[in-house]
């Protein structure tokens, strides 16, 4: 059985989303096309932005999935990432708080897609 190796995030403005995620995660895309931009996040694993269905996206549609960034370190590392990202002007959905899996917070991209930061499991 194969493991998933492509994770798509639907966006309405590919250039805006590419700039947002490149800056937020400090990564560069493998390539850019008018509607699809992949980032290699591990060997053979892609995180990609897709605007091919932008006409079907609506701000009123609830976002029920999250992009996750697990970082090593203590709760202070989570709080430091929160401070760095809020300094960039991200939209905060949940401020840092403690959950059963550790310290966490959630922000949103310009299309309302959720991004959760948490400790490494």
Question: Does 117 or 52 have the greater pLDDT score?
Answer: 117
Q: What percent of the chain clears pLDDT 70, i.e. is strictly above it?
A: 90
Mean pLDDT within 75-85: 97
Residue 3: predicted pLDDT: 87
- Domain coordinates of the chain in residue numbers? 1-54, 65-121
Specify the residue for token string 């949940």.
94
93: phi > 0 → left, psi -120 to 50 → alpha, else beta; which? Answer: alpha
Residue 57: predicted pLDDT: 64
Give 2-51 pLDDT, tens digit per residue. Answer: 889 999 999 989 999 999 999 999 999 999 999 999 999 999 999 999 98
**109 close to 116: Cβ distance less than 8 angstroms:** no
Q: Comparing 1-54 with 65-121, is the CATH topology the same?
A: yes
Residue 54: predicted pLDDT: 63
CA distance 101 to 103: 7
Residue 52: predicted pLDDT: 81
CATH of 1-54, one of 3.30.365.10, 3.30.70.360, 3.30.720.120, 3.40.50.12280: 3.30.720.120
- CB atoms < 10 A from the CB of 47, how many? 19
- CB atoms < 10 A from the CB of 13, how many? 14
Residues with Cβ < 8 Å from 84, sequence gap 6 or more? none
What is the dotted CATH code of the domain comprising 65-121? Answer: 3.30.720.110
φ, ψ (nearest 5 deg) of residue 98: -95, 135
pLDDT classification of 71: cutoffs 50, 70, 90: very high
């Amino acid at each position: 059985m194969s493991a998933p190796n492509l994770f798509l995030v639907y966006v309405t403005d590919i250039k805006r989303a590419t700039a947002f995620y490149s800056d937020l995660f400090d990564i560069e895309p493998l390539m850019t096309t008018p509607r699809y931009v992949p980032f290699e996040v591990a060997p053979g694993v892609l995180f990609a932005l897709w605007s091919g269905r932008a006409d079907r996206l609506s701000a009123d549609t609830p976002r029920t999935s999250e992009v996750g960034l697990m970082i090593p370190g203590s709760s202070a590392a989570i709080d430091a990432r929160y401070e760095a990202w809020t300094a960039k002007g991200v939209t905060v959905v949940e401020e840092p708080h403690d959950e059963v899996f550790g310290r966490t917070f959630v922000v949103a991209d310009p299309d309302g897609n959720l991004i959760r930061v948490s400790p490494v499991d």
